[in-house]
């Protein structure tokens, strides 16, 4: 193995050789550092590949069980927690959030529904007052501020990506109903019984398996100014209050915090399994996690629009379901417009396509500059569907 050559291990069904080739090409031409990709078809793993380096210095090879922070790809498993509760009749998605979290009714939010939290339509894409990274680690402080603040727009009318706040909003409903934070609920109800190597946060005993997050080069001043000029106050607050990145994601404080929108840690195999629950209409490896009806509800479209946070950067409309984003006519999650998934800041992705019976997990530590549709992810998705 040479220092800079792509180094790939694992297995790949010959039918999906194109996925392996795209994965290798990510290292050769798209700046990949370390990564893994897994694909399941009808519940069977057909691609399970990993390679590259787990650290910036290229001293630790990426291993079969290397864990990495997957950023907003965590939002899928977090949404799954709330859908489990709805499936059991413990939460009504059409009920006011305040029915479960009374303090939330403050500042004109008494009519915000649970489904608005899941679909980024609650109007709470960011806090109005300055909020530091250290304060983000304080669950009680953050949910208290969210309960007290007023919405940025009329809830339910359109989406505005709740990049940092999503996990606190959805997670606090989970906590009010079950007494458990999402990390504990997910472990008890899903990842533990299914044997899935994924956690919200990361325990100290697993640090040795964790890849080092490496930030993409920062754009020059003129480019940064151009990007900032295109962002609305809502978008600036959603994405920058506080600013988080690779420098935070590798710290003990980040790993110890409850950040159900941001700090899920797992393998590509684990991401493919969690999104595979939805691709398999609620069942995985002999375990029934959701009823078929509840699994289908996850992709219930909430209205296509120009997202108030993502719209300027993407230059196109999108549609959120109840926790994940629909592939839509652009094919963000493949050619089936009703396939769905979630991207993570820097490039990671989870994908579910019930019609094709397919799930995909892609994780990496070399963070690109894209919030969604990183070229590495797109290459893998295109290769997958080309092989079906």
| CA atoms of 207 and 255, how far apart (whole Å) | 9
CB contact at 8 A, 34 and 54: yes
Cα torsion angle, 334, 338, 341, 343, sign: positive
Can 125 be counted among the known catalytic residues? no
Of 336, 385, 306, which Cα lies nearest the Cα of 120?
306
| CA atoms of 224 and 254, how far apart (whole Å) | 26
For 5-113, where are the alpha helices, taking DSSP H only?
17-29, 75-87
| CA atoms of 174 and 170, how far apart (whole Å) | 7
CB contact at 8 A, 54 and 66: yes
Tell me the C-alpha to C-alpha distance, in Å, between residue 60 and each of 3, 6, 54, 211. 11, 14, 5, 9
| CA atoms of 159 and 143, how far apart (whole Å) | 20
Catalytic one of 72, 125, 159, 348: 72
Catalytic site positions: 72
């Amino acid at each position: 193995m040479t220092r800079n050559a792509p180094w790939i291990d694992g297995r790949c069904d010959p039918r999906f050789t194109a996925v392996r080739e795209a994965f290798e090409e990510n290292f050769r031409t798209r700046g990949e550092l370390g990564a893994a990709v897994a694909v399941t078809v009808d519940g069977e793993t057909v691609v399970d590949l990993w390679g590259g380096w787990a650290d910036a210095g290229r001293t630790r090879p990426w291993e079969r069980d290397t864990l990495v922070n997957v950023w907003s790809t965590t939002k899928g498993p977090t949404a799954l927690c709330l859908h489990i509760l709805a499936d059991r009749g413990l939460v009504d998605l059409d009920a006011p959030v305040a029915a479960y979290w009374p303090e939330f009714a403050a500042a004109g939010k008494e009519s915000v529904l649970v489904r608005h939290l899941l679909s980024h339509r609650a109007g709470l894409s960011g806090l109005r007052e300055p909020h530091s990274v250290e304060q983000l680690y304080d669950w009680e402080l953050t949910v208290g501020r969210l309960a007290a603040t007023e919405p940025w727009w009329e809830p339910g009318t359109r989406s505005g990506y709740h990049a940092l706040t999503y996990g606190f909003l959805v997670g606090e409903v989970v906590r009010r109903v079950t007494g458990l934070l999402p990390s504990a609920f997910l472990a008890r109800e899903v990842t533990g019984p299914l044997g899935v190597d994924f956690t919200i946060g990361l325990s100290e005993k697993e640090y040795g398996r964790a890849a080092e997050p490496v930030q993409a080069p920062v754009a020059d001043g003129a480019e940064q100014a151009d990007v900032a000029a295109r962002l609305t106050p809502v978008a600036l607050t959603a994405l920058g209050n506080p600013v988080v990145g690779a420098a935070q994601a590798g710290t003990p404080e980040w790993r110890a915090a409850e950040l159900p929108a941001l700090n899920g840690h797992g393998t590509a195999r684990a991401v493919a399994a969690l999104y595979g629950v939805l691709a398999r209409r609620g069942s995985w490896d002999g375990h029934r996690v959701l009823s078929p009806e509840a699994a289908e509800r996850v992709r219930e479209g909430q209205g296509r629009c120009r997202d108030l946070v993502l719209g300027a950067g993407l230059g196109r409309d999108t549609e959120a379901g109840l926790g994940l984003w629909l592939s839509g006519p652009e094919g963000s999650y493949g050619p089936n417009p009703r396939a769905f998934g979630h991207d993570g800041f820097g490039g990671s992705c989870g994908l579910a396509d019930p019609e094709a019976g397919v799930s995909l997990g892609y994780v990496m530590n070399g963070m690109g500059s894209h919030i969604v549709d990183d070229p590495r992810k797109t290459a893998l998705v295109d290769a997958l569907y080309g092989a079906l």
